[in-house]
Chains A and B, each alone.
Chain A
Amino acid sequence: MSNPIVEMKDVSYTYENKHALDHINFTIQKQAFIGLVGPNGGGKTTLIKLLLGINKLQSGSIHLFGEPIHKFKQWNKIGFVSQKANAFNRGFPATVQEVVSMGLTPKVGYLKFFTKAHKQKIEEAVEQVGMSEYLHENIGDLSGGQQQRVFIARALVSNPALLILDEPTVGVDAENVKKFYDLLHHLNEKQQITLLLVTHDIGTMTHHATDIVCLNKALHFHGNPTEFTRLSEHDLSHFYGHPLNVVTHNH
């Protein structure tokens, strides 16, 4: 396969006193659907923050869309829903439409205004996540799962080539989790969006992802779900540092 979308080489990262990532080598190919799993504190969020340039690279190299990260400028090619996305101020008076519009702000650029076409795009993104009837409601009045979908719409509205989601299904009920995976599936298959999804829901992941990546400080596994399910219990508990029961759902 040609030109990976993301290429990390020998990346290590240390917080003031905490070693979080250890010599990570990791690539994401175009149109992959990657499930990033690992125990709490395993460094998943840290890895994403490095990819997004929130945390500065300390050692190793990262290439995004073929460019070294310090030269990379096309951030609107990457959509991101953070683990803390719905930790915003609940009293903030912003409608769903206004929140989603933020996804276009950098693309529209300074000193320019939203046009009719932009508004159209915003409405489409909201529709895509099934939130059209709430377009003019305040985001703070929605449920946690609904808010999460609005944040996905915000990430989608700029037509990203890569969508990164950090534990987006926390606090979402089973039925909506299914809808959510259907949506991801659609984005991945029909719109050729590459996905990097952090989740603890390994069982569901094995049904949807093209790759599973297991991270606990070091990268312990990177392969397809079939290989992953073939791993012995012994290997898994080794990655996690404790025994693990993978529940495989039957869809």
Chain B
Amino acid sequence: MIADFFEYEFLQNTLYTGLLIGLIGPLLGTFIVVRRLSLIADALSHVTLAGIAFGLFLEKKYMVTFITPFYAGMGFSVIGSVFVERLRRVYKAYQELAIPIILSGGVGLSVVFISLADGFNTDLYSYLFGSVSAVSRNDFFSILVIAIIVITVLLLFYKELFMLSFDEEHAVVSGIHAKRIHFLFIVLTALVIAASIRIVGVLLVSALMTLPVAASIRIAKGFKQSILFSVIFGEISVIIGLVAGYYFEIPPGGTIVLTSVLILIITILYKRLKLTRLKRKAIA
């Protein structure tokens, strides 16, 4: 069955795209987790859903094909990220308020577009939970471009983003342009979410960005190592999840996330084991 992934073009597209999002999801996710923005990723994914619904609606009702659901989703996600920033600034002392506002706004818009289009069929289901067969060659190339952009920007601004994540006030005092860097970061987040949705689905996309990180920060020393472990865990989850999803005919979003949960449990147990062994040594 793994051989199928090298034989059929649609599975190849899925596999390569999967490997890309297994890289950029946890890579950006490490920053998201340490900045305590995990839920913002969730909110943005629902805004992306609204964009996708909008794209599907245009396609179905007006035969518009140049704005594909993928691009519409990406557009909405980026616009949503700008709103998140605005709201976080308006509600300085209640920054988490941005999350329910954006999230419910996204769901509301989605519902409207879905009913305007008189509902969709299986397509929407695959957007919610991901699909092994939904990625076209074109999608793959768009996602490749996104991945290159994300990796380049993260490399170029790594040290500033790291500083900003650790202690925003200190970064500002040191003359880092916090607002601009943060804006760049949230737009990247929107792009990564849009890129990941075809495979893991709207409801589970934030899990791909946070679960591998949750596992990695239990055992890593330092930030770079956290990123490295997160990416390794992310890739393992994507590979196992895709193959299992294909084999059992389950949407890969489910299998990928369950694999990450499993990895998380293993790292927690591993840490426990190590601690008890250390304690025993200390007593002996």
Residues of chain A touching chain B, judged by Cβ–Cβ distance below 8 Å, are 52-54, 73, 75-76, 80, 82, 84-85, 88-89, 91-95, 97-99, 101-102, 105-106, 108, 110-111, 113-114, 136-138
Is A101 a contact partner of B166 (Cβ separation < 8 A)?
A: no
Known: A89-B34, A108-B159, A111-B156. A102 touches B170 (CB 8 A): yes
Q: Which of A80, A88, A93, A106 contacts B226 (CB 8 A)?
A: A93
Is B221 a contact partner of A93 (Cβ separation < 8 A)?
A: yes
Is A93 a contact partner of B163 (Cβ separation < 8 A)?
A: no
Is A53 a contact partner of B173 (Cβ separation < 8 A)?
A: yes
Is B221 a contact partner of A88 (Cβ separation < 8 A)?
A: no
Which residue, A84, A110, A137, has most C-beta atoms of chain B within 10 A?
A110
Q: Which of A75, A84, A88, A99 contacts B175 (CB 8 A)?
A: A75
Is A82 a contact partner of B169 (Cβ separation < 8 A)?
A: yes
**Chain B minimum-CB-distance residue to A79:** B174
Tell me the minimal C-beta distance from A68 to chain B in angstroms.
17
**Chain A minimum-CB-distance residue to B156:** A111
Q: Which chain A residues border B174 with CB–CB below 8 Å?
A: 75-76, 102, 105-106
Q: Could you tell me the distance between the alpha carbons of A37 and B102 in the complex, rounded to whole angstroms?
A: 47
Tell me the minimal C-beta distance from A152 to chain B in angstroms.
13
Q: Could you tell me the distance between the alpha carbons of A22 and B36 in the complex, rounded to whole angstroms?
A: 39
Is B166 a contact partner of A94 (Cβ separation < 8 A)?
A: yes
A-B contact count (CB 8 A): 78
Q: Could you tell me the distance between the alpha carbons of A240 and B27 in the complex, rounded to whole angstroms?
A: 52
Interface membership of B10, Cβ < 8 A: no
Mark each residue of chain B from 242 to 271: 1 if its CB lies under 8 Å from any CB of chain A, else 0: 000000000000000000000000000000
Q: Which chain B residues border A85 with CB–CB below 8 Å?
A: 167, 170
At the interface, is chain A mostly helix, strand, loop or mixed?
loop
Q: Which chain B residues border A92 with CB–CB below 8 Å?
A: 34, 165-166, 223
Is B163 a contact partner of A105 (Cβ separation < 8 A)?
A: yes
Q: Which chain B residues border A106 with CB–CB below 8 Å?
A: 174-176
Q: Which chain B residues border A99 with CB–CB below 8 Å?
A: 166
Mark each residue of chain B from 201 to 227: 1 if its CB lies under 8 Å from any CB of chain A, else 0: 000000000000000010011111110
Tell me the minimal C-beta distance from A130 to chain B in angstroms.
20
Known: A52-B173, A80-B173, A89-B34. A105 touches B222 (CB 8 A): no
Q: Could you tell me the distance between the alpha carbons of A87 and B162 in the complex, rounded to whole angstroms?
A: 17
Q: Which chain B residues border A75 with CB–CB below 8 Å?
A: 173-175
Q: Which chain B residues border A80 with CB–CB below 8 Å?
A: 170, 173
Q: Which chain B residues border A108 with CB–CB below 8 Å?
A: 159
Is A93 a contact partner of B34 (Cβ separation < 8 A)?
A: yes
Tell me the minimal C-beta distance from B103 to chain A in angstroms.
24
Q: Which 10 residue pairs of A and B lie closest in terms of their CB atoms, listed nearest first?
A: A95-B222, A93-B226, A106-B174, A75-B175, A102-B163, A105-B159, A93-B217, A106-B175, A94-B223, A105-B163
Interface membership of B172, Cβ < 8 A: yes
Q: Which of A52, A53, A88, A111 contacts B166 (CB 8 A)?
A: A88
Q: Which chain A residues border B217 with CB–CB below 8 Å?
A: 91, 93
Q: Could you tell me the distance between the alpha carbons of A154 and B176 in the complex, rounded to whole angstroms?
A: 15
Q: Could you tell me the distance between the alpha carbons of A113 and B163 in the complex, rounded to whole angstroms?
A: 14
A-B contacts, 30 of them at CB < 8 A, read A76-B174, A80-B173, A82-B169, A85-B167, A85-B170, A88-B167, A89-B36, A92-B165, A93-B34, A93-B221, A94-B166, A94-B222, A95-B223, A98-B162, A98-B224, A102-B159, A102-B163, A102-B167, A102-B171, A105-B160, A105-B162, A106-B174, A106-B175, A110-B156, A110-B157, A110-B160, A114-B159, A136-B222, A137-B221, A138-B222
Q: Which of B170, B175, B223 contacts A93 (CB 8 A)?
A: B223
Q: Could you tell me the distance between the alpha carbons of A239 and B116 in the complex, rounded to whole angstroms?
A: 72
Q: Which chain B residues (140-195) contact chain A, with CB distance < 8 Å? A: 156-157, 159-160, 162-163, 165-167, 169-176
Is A138 a contact partner of B221 (Cβ separation < 8 A)?
A: yes
Which residue, B34, B173, B174, B176, has most C-beta atoms of chain A within 10 A?
B174
Q: Could you tell me the distance between the alpha carbons of A137 and B220 in the complex, rounded to whole angstroms?
A: 10
**Chain B minimum-CB-distance residue to A80:** B173
Tell me the minimal C-beta distance from B101 to chain A in angstroms.
25
Q: Could you tell me the distance between the alpha carbons of A56 and B143 in the complex, rounded to whole angstroms?
A: 44
Is A82 a contact partner of B160 (Cβ separation < 8 A)?
A: no
